[in-house]
Amino acid sequence: MIQIQNYKQPNPKNQIRGAQSKRNGEYFESLILASCEHYRLSGMAHIEKTPEEMKPLSGMDKNGYFKACFVKQAQPDFKGTLCGGRAIVFEAKHTDSDRIKQNVLTDEQVKSLELHFKLNAATYVLVSMGFSSFYFVPYAVWRDMKSIFGHKYMNEKELTAHKVKYKIGIICFLN
């Protein structure tokens, strides 16, 4: 007896949206890395991208490539130390929408931010809205947005208090 599995054709719109999201994420990350390098060179902070834990599935081929998978959900994107010794931990999220939803953080990211927050680290969510506006939202505000704003998202008006400048390729989140 032959078993035929149902094959669902990929939705081209979803594929395009996914590719665009990936490119946006990579671009946002490059802006943040440039900003972190600026802060390192100025002596204000040393902040690094958190590497994602992965498990190799095969040995390296002759071109230096291997297959791997991510082991667990991602930690917050960036961790480091501010001048004076205080730890800083933040997650970065980009949206092309007019609002950013609270549930864009994974459970693992929320748990980690909460732990660092309780240990008195500087904890934030860095938000890009269409690459035209940037906001450095304290984790406590992010966590409590339902009680603060009455819903589990923030629009640009609600984000205004946390807006940071963008100058010559640098997101000024520590200024």
Q: What string of pLDDT tens digits covers the 175 residues of the chain? A: 566 666 677 788 888 877 888 899 899 999 999 999 999 999 999 999 987 766 677 788 888 887 766 565 678 999 999 999 999 999 999 999 999 999 999 999 999 999 999 999 999 999 999 999 999 999 999 999 999 999 999 999 999 999 999 999 999 999 8
- Is residue 96 situated within a structural domain? yes
H/E stretch holding 85: none
- Is residue 7 situated within a structural domain? no
- Is residue 5 situated within a structural domain? no
Phi, psi dihedral angles at 158 (to 5 degrees): -70, -25
Residue 82: domain span: 13-171
Name the β-bridge partners of 90. 78, 124
**pLDDT, position 54:** 61
Q: Rounded distance, CA 78 to CA 131, Å?
A: 19
**pLDDT, position 175:** 86
**pLDDT, position 83:** 97
Q: Rounded distance, CA 49 to CA 90, Å?
A: 10
Burial of 141 (0-12, 13-18, 19+ CB in 10 A): middle
Total of domains in the chain: 1
- Is residue 25 situated within a structural domain? yes
CATH of the domain at 23: 3.40.1350.10
- CB within 8 A of 28, min separation 6: which ones? 92, 94, 128, 131
**pLDDT, position 71:** 61
